[in-house]
Amino acid sequence: MARDAREFAVVVRYTHHDGATPDQCVALMSWHEDPADADGEAARLNSVRPNERVEYFVKILRDRSA
């Protein structure tokens, strides 16, 4: 399947903080042109230091400027 050239994957860190807003809990870690690379990086980060308050995940973003 061909991938849309205007898509990219970002690895996001979510850290749970009591009383924090979602914006305060989320941080962009890296971006990747290949979603498989992003999946691998998120899996690696989740396995390095398992922590119930921190989770790394992948979000696919699309460029809507065109």
> DSSP 3-state assignment of 35?
helix
pTM listed for this prediction: 0.81
Domain residue spans in the chain? 7-62
Q: How far apart are CA 10 and CA 60, in angstroms?
A: 6
Separation of alpha carbons 28 and 65, rounded Å: 20
Per-residue pLDDT of the chain (66 residues; tens, 9 = 90+): 445 568 999 999 999 999 999 899 999 999 999 999 999 999 999 999 888 999 999 999 998 776
